[in-house]
Structure 1
């Protein structure tokens, strides 16, 4: 029997100011699978992620993450579910520059209520595995690639079922972009989670198992480098 999808988006519709950004969007992602969603700026990619995170309430449709419909959850239940099951990597990392990488990564576990020692030990293990310096270096002094690897470690800290990445390489040069993209797309199989990456960069998107385009408010298969 195939794995149940970690993420199941069905019939999603969202409109704002008489503009329809999502109209019947459907998406399923299984454990260990990666999906890239491409589309120009303003096409609704970040809106889609906002709906998956429960930050944006759609007009209709459902978003099941790890078996629960986040569109129907109350705020506190949603916050707990998001903390336990979803990790996010942003374009600019959204890290605290004055903290060390270990402190930035451990913070995700501490906010989820985990013990301090356990949080710091796991943070250091993740950073070492992802090739980030862990001793005595403020995050603000890391290279762009090291900061994004730290952001990936933070997103993985609570062992999420679903990892979301919003233009994760948009602020990096081409060499660093390729290194971070390679790491990011290795995550689903290494940690058995589902990965959804939204990007305008075809070189990043082609690394995914499946490719979709957000076009005219719906998700459709998209060919990237000969793959669809």
Structure 2
């Protein structure tokens, strides 16, 4: 995934001011910053839900800013997974149904969709019986949300405050899971978070301040630089 010279303003306020970001497969990056700094806006631009004023967003070799709405939706379903702060799962469905639904919407056949869902949930330690998602613990729901994000085998996984609604124990477990994904699945992982202890687990960490990405160094000094916030 690469973001090039991204600019976006709303109501006269510049949220992204020439942001550049390079995140290869198999690596993770965290972006921190206060509420209103533009972190979620950056994710929405990467998702293609917000059209930037200037710049390019390249995911899996295609510039999202050039795609038609239909092509964009198709490309997003097949290449990007998303984990939200509160999971955004349907509470009346079982975890298997929630995860399989994402695959069905992407055109996966029913048997394959449910098979993928059961395998992923089992691997992530989430019940695969008939328990409604509403009855799961907070940590189980968020692991189910990660499974849903992975079910279509994305090249890029995005997470918006994925541990913000969890207690300390579940926060650690979900953070461990998210930052293990690049090695286990080969995908790139971009996490936005207020929690600096969660951000420190990523291969690289940046702060979004006044529309620019400011480097916070690397969580592992021996690892290569993953992204560059130019125009600082």
Query: What interval of TM-score do these two structures reach, taking the shorter chain for normalisation?
Result: over 0.9
* 3-state SS, counterpart of residue 222 of structure 1: strand
1:76 aligns with 2:70: yes
Q: Residue by residue, what CA displacement relative to the aligned partner does 1:40-63 show, whole Å, maximum 9, x if unpaired?
A: 000000000010011111110100
The answer on 1:206 being equivalent to 2:193 is no
Distance 1:101 1:58 in 2: 35
Match of 1:192 in 2: 186
5+ long unaligned stretches in structure 1:
1-6
Deviation at 1:86, TM superposition (A): 0.2
The corresponding residue for 2:172 is 178
Q: Where does structure 2 lack aligned partners over 5 or more consecutive residues?
A: 226-232
Q: How far apart in 2 are the matches of 1:75 and 1:196?
A: 23
Instruction: From 85, 91, 95, give the equivalent of 1:91.
Output: 85
Q: CA deviation at 1:222?
A: 1.1
Alpha-carbon distance between aligned partners in 2 of 1:226 and 1:35, rounded to the nearest angstrom: 12
Partner of 2:35: 41
- TM-score after normalising by structure 2: 0.93
CA distance in 1, matches of 2:170, 2:116: 25
115, 137, 143: which is aligned to 2:137?
A: 143
> Residue 155 of structure 1 corresponds to which residue in structure 2?
149
**Distance (Å, rounded) in 1 between the aligned partners of 2:85 and 2:7:** 25
1:111 matches 2:105: yes
Tell me, in whole angstroms, the C-alpha distance in 2 between the residues paired with 1:173 and 1:165.
17
- The one of 44, 48, 63 equivalent to 1:50 is 44
For 2:218 and 2:185, locate their aligned partners in 1 and report how far apart those are by CA, in whole Å: 25
Q: 1:64 to 1:224 in 2, by over 3 A?
A: closer
Aligned to 2:160: 166
2:101 is paired with a residue whose SS is helix
- Structure 1 runs (4+) deviating above 3 angstroms are 223-228
SS at match of 2:192: strand
Displacement of 1:220 after TM fit?
1.6
- What is the CA–CA distance in structure 2 between the aligned matches of 1:224 and 1:79, rounded to whole Å? 33
2:220 and 2:207 map into 1 onto residues whose CA distance is: 15
Displacement after TM superposition at 1:136 (Å): 1.5
- Looking at structure 2, the residues matched to 54 and 127 of structure 1 have their Cα atoms a distance apart, in angstroms, of 28
2:52 counterpart SS class: coil
Q: Does 1:123 align with 2:117?
A: yes
In the TM superposition, what whole-angstrom CA distance separates every residue of 1:78-102 from its partner, at most 9, and x where no partner exists? Answer: 0000000000000000000000000
Pick the aligned partner of 2:213 from 208, 215, 219.
219
